[in-house]
Structure formats: C-alpha cells, structure tokens
Amino acid sequence: MTTPWRGTAMFVGVAAVLGAAAAARFAAAEDAASPPAVQGAGQAVPGTSTTGNAGASSASAPSSPRAGGGGTSARARHTVVGSVASTPYGPVQVSVTFDGTRITAVQELQVPRGGRSDGINAQAAPVLAQQVVAAQSARIDGVSGATYTSQAYEQSVQYAIDHA
C-alpha cells in the first residue's frame, strides 16, 4: 500500500528545485540588465548571508545583489514557495513572486485534481491569484464554490508572505 503523501512530498521537492532554478535565471537576467554593483558595506554578496537575511527560510529562492543599499532590502525580485495546505479534495500550494515587498505574481504549484475539482480549480486559481496581487496580502474574498481551495490558497500565500 502506498501512502498518499508520498507523491506530494516528491512533487514539493521537485517544485522547490524548479522554483529555485527559475529564480536564479531571473536574478541572472536582472543582473545582466543592470549596471554592476560595487561591493561595499551593507550590500549583499551572492551566496552569503547578511544580518538582514540571517533568519531567512530555506523555502525562499536565491536573491540578487542590489546597488545603493541605503536601508533598502537586498532582495529585489524573489519567489517564495508557500506551504502545502490540505483540503478534503487534495493539496494546495502556491509560489509568490515579490519585487521588494510588493507581490507581483502568484502561481499555483498544486491544486486538487480529478472530477469536478478540475473545472472548479481551472476557474478559481486565476481569480485567487488576481485577488492576492490586488490585495497585496493573503486576505482575499475567495471564490464561491471553491471554498476549500480558497482557504488553502490563503494559507499557502500567508506562509510565503511570512517567509519572504
């Protein structure tokens, strides 16, 4: 007998690796498009931890250095993978992309599949993503008819916000 969480754990691991690779590509593209940063006091150095990032979660993607420190975050654009939230119909997990502290995008990594869940979540997931970006928080209205997905979506987004 196979445990139902086994595939989920593998998917989460693969999604985290893919998310980190995508974030690294975005960071590399951003670095290539911007003028080179001069390394100095208070600036992030790739691959090292600074005081501001000492408590950062391993769920967040790598960050890119930013010139002009001056009290701003060293993490310009980054993506954080939210927690897996369970529903009676299956798991929900999202990744949230930030530009500084502003939420710029939310992407579903997992939503319940099969039967009516396919149709419900095909309509609900894009609406939930738009609500999060518009609200700039996990406090969203949700989608009628997709109550479980909406609640789990909020939980996953809130985790990502808390660990950004």
Q: Where are the domains of the chain?
A: 1-44+54-164
Read off the pTM.
0.56
pLDDT in tens, the chain (164 residues): 555 555 555 555 556 655 665 555 555 554 444 443 333 333 333 333 333 333 333 343 434 333 444 444 556 899 999 999 999 999 999 999 999 999 999 999 999 999 999 999 999 999 999 999 999 999 999 999 999 999 999 999 999 999 98
Residues contacting 76, CB < 8 A, separation 6+: 30, 63, 64, 66, 99, 100
pLDDT at 103: 97
Residues contacting 101, CB < 8 A, separation 6+: 73, 164
pLDDT at 51: 32
pLDDT at 101: 92
CB atoms within 10 A of CB 53: 14
pLDDT at 118: 95
